[in-house]
Structure 1
Amino acid sequence: MFKSVAQVKRGSLPLVASLLLRSSSSRANNKGILANKVAVITGSTDGIGFAIARRLAQDGAHVVVSSRKQQNVDRAVAALQGEKLSVMGTVCHVGKAEDQERLVAKALEHCGAVDILVCVAGVNPLVGSTLGSSEQVWDKILSVNVKAPALLLSQLLPYMESRGEGSVVLISSIGVYLPEPKLGAYNVSKTAILGLTKTLSMELAPKNIRVNCLVPGLIDTPFSQVLIKDQDLQQTMKTAYKIQRIGRPEDCAGLVSFLCSPDASYITGENIVVAGFSPCL
């Protein structure tokens, strides 16, 4: 892998320039708050991840999308390129080391650098209680939801450092503040993301790399259908928190773009809720 990376760094600057400096007909050229930035986004072929990919590309970044299935990657790339956005994609199951390595290699091969990492990919193989989760369920949830973002960042870190600055956004869940009994182990994994954000923000601050966390509420995505279909839960939320609608993926995208932009250069270690209400003081 690193042989190809070295070749990219030595010999493909014209390719990088052509990717990052698109024609004036493209929205992903020298315009926008993320102009000439390269963003790697996991779990970005639908839902919140896809909305973030679109917004970052609209704001000028060259975006690398990824997910587990080639057909989903192809569909997402075609849709975004159809909007004249600067996007490429590759298959990546973040729980597999070889897929992480391929994602890093592809990003560097095509873009020559990485400035932004957004970790959206997550799993929840069991709808059930915390103590009802088997060891296999725990291993899968913690491997993909907690361990994978840290390991992927460790691979990308040298290339982000070489740029002199960087931004990382991790994705948690409103369940860390208001646990849903149906999602026991998943809630625990997303609580760990808050701690990972705080710890990494302190570790990476001297390198001028910021780490923040998006905490989505109830957002209408394929991943959240088990909750979306729960009419009693929706009514409870509307009554208790006065929110009168379910969130949309686009409700999250603008915040992530802001956190990755120069406007947020003095913000790190924050866990920011996007839920239509605040569960915090």
Structure 2
Amino acid sequence: MSWLGLEGRTAVVTGAGGGIGQAVSAALAAEGVRVVLLDRDIARAEDLATALGGAAVALRCELTEPEQLAEAAARVEAEGGADILVNSAAILRPGTLDTLAEADWSAMLAVNLTGSLAASQAFGRGMLARGRGSIVHIASIAASQPQPASGAYSASKAALAMLSRQLAYEWGPRGVRSNCVSPGLVMTPMSAAFYADPEVRAKRESMVPLRRIATPEDVADVTLFLASDRASYITGQEMVVDGGLSQSLMGLVPRPGYA
């Protein structure tokens, strides 16, 4: 038995085919968890399920399609229900706010925020009925540090962090915990273009006190802890996984006599 004690549980991961979603799913499966992989790209989810073996099942699910989400939730509930939900699905449509199209703004909110609420409702109802469960939302340090030229991304992640806190307050008395993990700079398929230039990567690394870009596994480790009973008295919290980047603001301010 592992230290986390997650064996035999069922977890649902949205956006399971993405970089962080894949890492979280693999880490859960390694702990003996049955993982339900939700992704709008079913081929990507099925490839991951194959790689994880019998510990995973892939379901096509677009969070903005209520019928697909309801079908996925009904199937999971018929097989015993979810003990853990990880809301990892997210999209990015970059653009400055003076030119951002309303359609792009709405699309990001629909997936990053409303999709997380919809998944929490769909799989949380069973948790509430059983009086136990853990939900972990993947937010971002962009929730508290405005990220320029990223459209609605910062706003959607800030709202997601508050959604997590509100769920914790409303559902805590009924045995369901809600927390969020806020990664900093992470190497994922969605961010890979930012690191194509070695000079850009080196500059980014130099800004992080731990001097490296995070891996999806760094985020997965914290997610599993929050999902487990080792965090049974933690709810409504945001755990920042950024190598200290968000603590570096004052280091950018010139100070006489200090190099």
What's the TM-score once normalised by structure 2's chain length?
A: 0.88
Q: Which runs of 5+ in 1 are unaligned?
A: 1-28
Partners of 2:8 and 2:32 within 8 A in 1: yes
* CA-CA distance at 1:242 after TM superposition: 2.7
1:112 aligns with 2:80: yes
1:123 aligns with 2:91: yes
* CA-CA distance at 1:163 after TM superposition: 2.7
Structure 2 residue identity aligned to 1:220: M
Match of 2:35? 63
Give the counterpart of 2:119 among 152, 161, 184. 152
* CA-CA distance at 1:219 after TM superposition: 0.9
1:251 aligns with 2:218: yes
Q: Which stretch shifts more, 146-155 or 237-246?
A: 237-246
Q: Which stretch shifts more, 139-148 or 95-104?
A: 95-104
Partners of 1:59 and 1:257 within 8 A in 2: no
**Separation of aligned partners in 2, 1:57 and 1:119:** 17
* CA-CA distance at 1:271 after TM superposition: 0.8
> Structure 1 runs of 4+ off > 3 angstroms?
29-32, 229-241
Q: Which runs of 5+ in 2 are unaligned?
A: 249-259
The 5 A counterparts of 1:86-97 are 86-97=55-66
Give the counterpart of 1:141 among 108, 116, 120. 108
The RMSD of aligned alpha carbons is 2.1
Partners of 1:243 and 1:277 within 8 A in 2: yes
Structure 2 residue identity aligned to 1:63: V
* CA-CA distance at 1:237 after TM superposition: 3.7
Partners of 2:4 and 2:228 within 8 A in 1: no
Match of 2:138? 171
* CA-CA distance at 1:106 after TM superposition: 2.5
* CA-CA distance at 1:32 after TM superposition: 5.8
What's the TM-score once normalised by structure 1's chain length?
A: 0.82
The secondary structure found in structure 2 opposite 1:160 is helix
**Separation of aligned partners in 2, 1:69 and 1:238:** 31
Match of 1:197? 164
Paired positions, count: 248
Give me the identity figure in percent.
Answer: 33
Partners of 1:67 and 1:91 within 8 A in 2: yes
Match of 1:100? 69
Match of 2:188? 221
Structure 1 pair 226–178 and aligned structure 2 pair: CA distance change class (3 A): farther
